[in-house]
């Protein structure tokens, strides 16, 4: 079984000593890795085993989580996923990142120190997300709207009889019968995903050369040119040429994308497309689509990543003058030796794109493209802004 990414897991953790809440006598703080949780004083004690649920987890509609979903459920329909999403909140000015719950809400600790949940034994550090039904929130990865509104992710399979009719024709070889259908590819293009810094805060060594870029909040896009065909798609799916989706529209508005892809045949270009999220316009005019490139793989050298600094600067030199807004890549916020305090100061604030949009966070990449770490591969980590996560939690 494939191991889940660290920020998709729900782990059994052993708690250290609680810290004093700075503004409430009835609350206290626990540190779990790089995260901080606020709990009611006395709910846990040093050495306890507990269940830690990270931000952007989605809890099931079960009794243990009734306090989360009950206000949003009706007898006829369950609470929507976004109302069961665990986010970042503040309690008396202290940030609580995720949710800490007693083991006893799901099972018990046996005399040998193992946790029994649903008839299975687990130990400290184990992932129990599947056992207790917790999934990871994926709501923003395949959003298509270019009007600053939310929309649902593209479904892999139809949900109506009409949809199944077109889907069947498509699979039989009748292409173009439905512009929103997924496009077939005869070769593999890796998906792009990055682990959370707070789960791997010790991976990058002090003084190691890094580049820090702004994380843009839009919809991820992949582009690649191969054997005379220009492919465009989202994080998960490739879109047909006649599709009216944002990924295809972005090609028409940003011709530099196809020019770069043709010049690097077979090399996937990874970008963020905006605006696709409500309140995150990044200075776009009505109907305008901007594309921020953040990475690419080199098909001529085994699909390794291009060195990030050179790749981003080459894009600026080659294409920024041909784009009205002068933006073709994510902003570079810092280059130099890894310094935690300097980099931490870059996480919060407004976007450097327009000085108005809430910054989603940052991405830290070790400059050496061959630097690999166990469990995460290439050393590149995202660090989301707590202000951004709080805002998302209140939507």
Tens digits of residue pLDDT in 34-71: 999 999 999 999 999 999 999 999 999 999 999 999 99
Confidence of residue 191 (pLDDT cuts 50, 70, 90): confident
Whether residue 10 is found in the same domain as residue 119: yes
For tokens 């892809």, name the residue: 261
**pLDDT value at residue 294:** 97
Residue after which a domain boundary falls, among 136, 154, 170: 136
Tens digits of residue pLDDT in 97-109: 999 999 999 999 9
Average pLDDT over residues 81-99: 93
**pLDDT value at residue 88:** 93
Average pLDDT over residues 307-334: 94
> Peptide bond before 358: cis, by omega within 30 degrees of 0?
no
Q: What is the CATH number of the domain that holds 13?
A: 2.40.50
Of the chain, the percentage scoring pLDDT greater than 90 comes to 68
Whether residue 15 is found in the same domain as residue 109: yes
For strand 304-305 and strand 332-337, is the pairing parallel, antiparallel, or unpaired? Answer: unpaired
Distance set, CA 266 to CA 223, 231, 262, 298, 318 (Å)? 9, 10, 8, 8, 20
Average pLDDT over residues 175-187: 52
Whether residue 374 is found in the same domain as residue 252: yes
Whether residue 129 is found in the same domain as residue 195: no
pLDDT at residue 176 tops 60: no
Indicate the pTM of the whole model.
Answer: 0.83
Average pLDDT over residues 267-292: 94
Does 103 map to a domain?
A: yes
Residue 313 is inside which H or E element, if any? helix 308-319
pLDDT at residue 167 tops 80: no
Mean pLDDT of the chain: 87
- Name every residue whose Cβ is closer than 8 Å to that of residue 357 and which is 6 or more positions away in sequence: 217, 279, 280, 281, 282, 283, 350, 351
* Domains: count for the chain: 2
Whether residue 116 is found in the same domain as residue 218: no
Whether residue 366 is found in the same domain as residue 220: yes
Q: What is the CATH number of the domain that holds 279?
A: 3.30.470.30
Does 70 map to a domain?
A: yes
Could you list the residue range(s) of the whole structural domain that residue 95 is in?
Answer: 6-136
**pLDDT value at residue 169:** 57
Whether residue 292 is found in the same domain as residue 389: yes
Confidence of residue 240 (pLDDT cuts 50, 70, 90): confident
């Amino acid at each position: 079984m494939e191991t889940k990414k660290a920020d998709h897991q729900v782990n059994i953790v052993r708690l250290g000593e609680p810290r004093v809440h700075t503004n409430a006598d009835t609350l206290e703080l626990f540190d779990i890795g790089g995260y901080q949780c606020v709990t009611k004083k006395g709910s846990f004690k040093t050495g306890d085993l507990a269940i830690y649920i990270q931000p952007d987890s989605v809890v099931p509609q079960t009794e243990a989580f009734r306090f989360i979903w009950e206000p949003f459920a009706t007898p006829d329909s369950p609470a929507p996923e976004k109302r069961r999403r665990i986010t970042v909140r503040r309690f008396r000015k202290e940030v609580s990142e995720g949710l800490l719950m007693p083991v006893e809400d799901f099972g018990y600790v046996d005399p040998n120190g193992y946790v029994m949940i649903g008839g299975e034994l687990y130990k400290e550090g184990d992932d129990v997300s599947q056992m207790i039904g917790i999934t990871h929130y994926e709501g923003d990865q395949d959003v298509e709207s270019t009007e600053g509104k939310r929309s649902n992710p593209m479904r892999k399979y139809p949900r109506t009889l009409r949809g199944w009719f077109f889907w069947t024709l498509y699979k039989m070889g009748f292409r173009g019968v439905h512009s929103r259908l997924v496009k077939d590819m005869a070769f593999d293009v890796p998906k792009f995903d990055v682990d959370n810094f707070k789960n791997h805060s010790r991976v990058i060594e002090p003084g190691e050369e890094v580049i820090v870029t702004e994380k843009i909040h839009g919809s991820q896009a992949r582009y690649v040119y191969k054997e005379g065909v220009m492919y465009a798609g989202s994080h998960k799916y490739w879109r047909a040429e006649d599709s009216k989706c944002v990924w295809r529209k972005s090609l028409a508005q940003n011709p530099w994308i196809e020019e770069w892809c043709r010049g690097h045949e077979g090399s996937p270009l990874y970008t963020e497309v905006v605006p696709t999220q409500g309140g995150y316009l990044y200075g776009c005019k009505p109907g305008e689509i901007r594309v921020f490139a953040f990475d690419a793989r080199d098909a001529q050298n085994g699909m390794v990543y291009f060195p990030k600094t050179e790749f981003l600067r080459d894009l600026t030199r080659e294409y920024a003058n041909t784009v009205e807004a002068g933006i073709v890549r994510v902003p570079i916020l810092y280059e130099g030796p890894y310094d935690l305090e300097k980099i931490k100061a870059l996480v919060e604030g407004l976007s450097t794109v327009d000085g108005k949009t809430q910054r989603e966070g940052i991405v830290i990449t070790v400059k050496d493209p061959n630097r690999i770490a166990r469990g995460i591969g290439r050393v590149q980590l995202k660090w989301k802004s707590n202000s951004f996560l709080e805002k998302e939690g209140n939507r």
